Structures are given as C-alpha cells and as structure tokens.
Amino acid sequence: MAGPSFEEWISHLGLQQIDDPQIDKPVHRKTSFGELELSAEIEKKITTSLRDARDRRKIPRSKLAPMLGLSDQVYNRYENVVRG
C-alpha cells in the first residue's frame, strides 16, 4: 500500500505552493492570515524571536548555547541568519 501521493498530502494539509526567489524549487506553506511569507521573512521573525527571548531573560549567548547542546558559533548563526 503506497499511501497518499505528494499532491494529496499538500491538499490534506491545506498547503499552497510559493515560488521563493531564494529557493530554487517550489515550497509549500500554510497561509497564516492570507499572504504567504517568503523564507527571508520567516527567518527574520525566527531570528528576532530568539534574540528577544534571550534578551528578556538576560541569558548570555555563551550560557544559552550549551543549554541547547550547541556551540556558541552555531547558536550565533541561528540568531544572526538575517541581518537587518
């Protein structure tokens, strides 16, 4: 038994195709409140959320990274994916 096709999964999950110029193939996402976001917009929101949450708790990056099982350099990349 093969199960649902890729197209059936997309339909079942309510996803829509988006052509993001930063990604060389189509991606499928849910619409949040109408408009689909591009990867750079999503990355900026994640980056900002990480930095803001750490700052609110006054936890230095050098302390948080090991708590997450990451090196300082790797966590730094997560927080600084998008510069703006």
The residue ranges of every structural domain in the chain are 1-30, 39-79
pLDDT of residue 82: 56
The whole-angstrom separation of Cα 42 and Cα 29 is 11
At 38-53, the pLDDT tens digits run: 777 778 888 888 899 9
Would the pTM of this model clear 0.75, i.e. be above it?
A: no
Euclidean distance between CA atoms 54 and 71, whole angstroms: 16
